[in-house]
Structure 1
Amino acid sequence: MNKHIILTYLAYSCISSTIALAEEPRELPSSLRICNDDAEWPPFTYFSRIAGEKSKLKGYSVDVLSAILTPINQPYKIDMINWNRCKYDVMHSKRYHMLVDASLNEQRKKNFFYTDKYYDTHTYYFYAKAHHPKGISISSLKELKQYRLAGMKGYNYAIYGLKESDISIYKNSQQKIFYMLLHNRADLHLERIEIIAGFAAIGENLLGNNEILYAPLPNVKPMSFHMLFPKTSQGKKLRDFFNRALKNLKSKGILESLLKKHLDPVLNNRQ
């Protein structure tokens, strides 16, 4: 099967799966407002670069939203804003109807309606070779508290058995956290390998720095990611609509194809 036939099949499958959604009674807003983290989440949601300047919004989640909403002519807009503000505005039905690229914890399950997962990620720990020349070997999550941990503001660390107070330093970008590691301001950073590798898509090969070492965090299941909605009647309708849409895309193999499109290039280029 040649490339043209594959693309034609995916386009036809996407259209066919969304026809059913369009025919169902639905109450989507006249213009769907979606927010996400302005720190970016490559290769899932990020800006392409032209001469180093941010340009078009790209990524797996961007393509998934387009595959669901474009064929039914649903207007929508994705804004990249402060992550904590994004969560607050969705939870309280302020400026946004939903957010994407969110993991779950008990607090989020309480505060939001959420879709079934639409992708998984895998957690690694990162550290600076110069400050830990003998390496760091983690065999259990309890050992994490022995180290100075760096974390991203507003991110979910409860899955690792950590409280907010267990994180020694918070930053608002992965680049700043890697700087903290290299300058001995922190020992460890926990992050999904897909994300760190994904920064190569925006011209920042964080894994290309030979001074940073990394290894899989043991005894941690893959972390699932979801779309979140406010706990309102409209939020429930949106959750149900997107769950049906994601199920359709999954059954057609479109989710898998889109994921491979965005993940394979960055993971295959790891050093």
Structure 2
Amino acid sequence: MDRLCKLIVLAILSLSLPNASAEQEFIKPNLTFCVEDTEFPPYNYFERVNGNKQATQGYDVDILAEVFAETGIEYKIVALPWRRCLKEVREGLIDAAMSASLNPQRKRDYIATQAYYALTPSYFYLQSDYANPPNIGHLDQLLSLGHVCGIKGFNYRNFGLTQIQQIDEINDLAHLPDMLKRNRCEFFLARKETLLGTLAVNKLHQFDSLIQSQPVPNVRLEPFHMLISRKSAYNHVIEEQFNRIVSELQQSGETDKILQRHLNKLKKMNQ
């Protein structure tokens, strides 16, 4: 059955190529995927050697390896500023972006795969500023309590914030501790799981005990997807292969194992 699936995928690939000739029996694409260069751990982050950033690793990297393991398809992963990553996917220069949430514009601009994980929309603040969590029923109410910050180019529509234009943007999640300490931000919007990972890879474990997080009230877990370029010659092949393999990995529990492996790595970094 595995051999049959492989042959079917390779046959689809050969048909999807423009001007494919009969002599080119199975021409395989060389794909490019992009991730956020300021890191989104445990989903994508850099390996460190003596404090220097090396190759990209993480859940996304391992998922792609599983997705294309049996196809012989070659691909590479590049780390770019998030806005550039999305722009080059939209323009067809890159085949797909990993770890993206959805909003109406992205649904129009890209082909979204099925969700392959979900995160908790949260807001963070210094414990010393609030003995008890702020009493809010909607995220917009934070704006009346102080400056609300987020990362430039990130999508916060799924946080339930209607006045998105009032977010103060910073370039890098690792700058958060300094922004909070200097009262440049009273609150910071982030997905809980990735912020804690970011503190770990940047060796900011001492700051972990100073901040508190609360899930955004009345908001569901936020699903994350691969966004595929509508201009990629292989978009439907990528979508079919990704959705099929990820479904199998989820059903077998393998995605949970992959995620836990990287959570364990981050935990060691934070020691």
TM-score (structure 1 length as normaliser): 0.83
Residue correspondence of structure 1 range 38-53 to structure 2 within 5 A: 38-53=37-52
Match of 1:26 among 6, 9, 12: 12
Q: Which runs of 5+ in 1 are unaligned?
A: 1-15
Question: How far did 1:199 drift?
Answer: 2.4
Q: Is the 8 A contact 1:199 1:206 kept in 2?
A: no
User: In structure 2, what residue type is equivalent to 1:224?
Assistant: P
User: In structure 1, what residue type is equivalent to 2:97?
Assistant: L
Question: How far did 1:18 drift?
Answer: 8.6
User: In structure 2, what residue type is equivalent to 1:234?
Assistant: Y
SS where residue 70 of structure 2 aligns?
helix
81-90 vs 173-182, greater mean Cα deviation = 173-182
CA separation in 2, counterparts of 1:143 and 1:130?
A: 20
Equivalent position of 1:59 in the other structure: 58
Match of 1:113 among 111, 114, 126: 111
Corresponding position: 1:161 with 2:161 = yes
Question: How far did 1:65 drift?
Answer: 0.5
SS where residue 198 of structure 1 aligns?
helix
CA pair 166-267 structure 1, distance change in 2 beyond 3 A: farther
Question: How far did 1:46 drift?
Answer: 0.5
Runs of 4+ in 1 over 6 A off after TM superposition: 16-19, 267-271
Q: Is the 8 A contact 1:43 1:263 kept in 2?
A: yes
Q: Is the 8 A contact 1:98 1:228 kept in 2?
A: yes
CA separation in 2, counterparts of 1:270 and 1:39?
A: 18
CA separation in 1, counterparts of 2:205 and 2:56?
A: 20
SS where residue 43 of structure 1 aligns?
coil
CA separation in 2, counterparts of 1:73 and 1:89?
A: 25
CA separation in 1, counterparts of 2:213 and 2:183?
A: 16
CA separation in 2, counterparts of 1:103 and 1:174?
A: 17
Equivalent position of 1:186 in the other structure: 185
Could you report, residue by residue, the CA deviation over 1:155-192 in whole angstroms, capped at 9, with x for unpaired residues? 0111123344120x211211213321111011111111
Q: Is the 8 A contact 2:101 2:225 kept in 1?
A: yes
CA separation in 2, counterparts of 1:44 and 1:263?
A: 9
227-236 vs 40-49, greater mean Cα deviation = 227-236
Q: Is the 8 A contact 1:138 1:217 kept in 2?
A: no
Equivalent position of 1:249 in the other structure: 249
CA pair 135-196 structure 1, distance change in 2 beyond 3 A: same
Q: Is the 8 A contact 1:197 1:267 kept in 2?
A: no
CA separation in 1, counterparts of 2:109 and 2:234?
A: 14
Could you report, residue by residue, the CA deviation over 1:202-259 in whole angstroms, capped at 9, with x for unpaired residues? 2524574433222222211111110001224632332222112212222333222212
Corresponding position: 1:101 with 2:86 = no
Corresponding position: 1:72 with 2:71 = yes
203-212 vs 141-150, greater mean Cα deviation = 203-212
CA separation in 2, counterparts of 1:253 and 1:235?
A: 27
User: In structure 2, what residue type is equivalent to 1:148?
Assistant: H
TM-score (structure 2 length as normaliser): 0.83
Aligned length: 254
Corresponding position: 1:126 with 2:112 = no
**What is the root-mean-square deviation in Å for CA atoms of aligned residues?**
2.7
Equivalent position of 1:198 in the other structure: 197
Question: How far did 1:127 drift?
Answer: 0.9
CA pair 255-134 structure 1, distance change in 2 beyond 3 A: closer
User: In structure 1, what residue type is equivalent to 2:192?
Assistant: I
CA pair 93-114 structure 1, distance change in 2 beyond 3 A: same
Q: Is the 8 A contact 2:174 2:198 kept in 1?
A: no
